[in-house]
Structure 1
């Protein structure tokens, strides 16, 4: 466990910078590029870097869940149309 004296203090990210960051995430494709830059750039604020990493993880989980739901719907409809209920 580190003592408080040894901990690294990152500068505070201003409210305006957070608002600008959130607005940049509204732009398709640009949002993913900026998240990777913020997450893996060593000169970026540590708080913003951790937030970008967490956001990327949430995006990946969302895509994974969407894929599972799509597979479930396709399997349901293919089994429904391949059954003998409509004969």
Structure 2
């Protein structure tokens, strides 16, 4: 896109500009710009490394510590948001599984009492 006026089109701005040649004319010169986007991510929103996940899973293998750490990571005020959401999801799944287990247990218990009362 060549422009011969004092202004450069907005499309060409930053990539092309006019330079004066030795003969007194103007020539369009292309500049190559590499734009590097540096996004500052807060510490608690950065992606967890494999090392951090391995440490997390090792902590989850310790019997009583794992339950405590689920609650610390899920409801603590600080910490990585990935691990925080992961801990909340695991607590939710455990709650649903415990709830289903209790429902089935009480259903079987009630059936056993009904069966025992019918036999008498």
TM-score with structure 2 setting the length:
0.58
Between structures 1 and 2, the one with greater helix share: 1
- Match in the other structure for 1:4: none
Structure 2 distance, partners of 1:26, 1:78, is: 38
- Match in the other structure for 1:50: 85
- Match in the other structure for 1:39: 74
1:6-85 equivalent positions in 2, closer than 5 A: 10-84=45-119
Q: Which runs of 5+ in 2 are unaligned?
A: 1-40
Runs of 4+ in 1 over 3 A off after TM superposition: none
Structure 1 distance, partners of 2:61, 2:111, is: 34
**Larger gyration radius, structure 1 or structure 2:** 2
TM-score with structure 1 setting the length:
0.78
Between structures 1 and 2, the one with greater strand share: 2
**Aligned-residue CA RMSD (Å):** 1.7
Name which structure has the greater RCO, CA cutoff 8 Å, separation 6+.
1
- Match in the other structure for 1:5: none
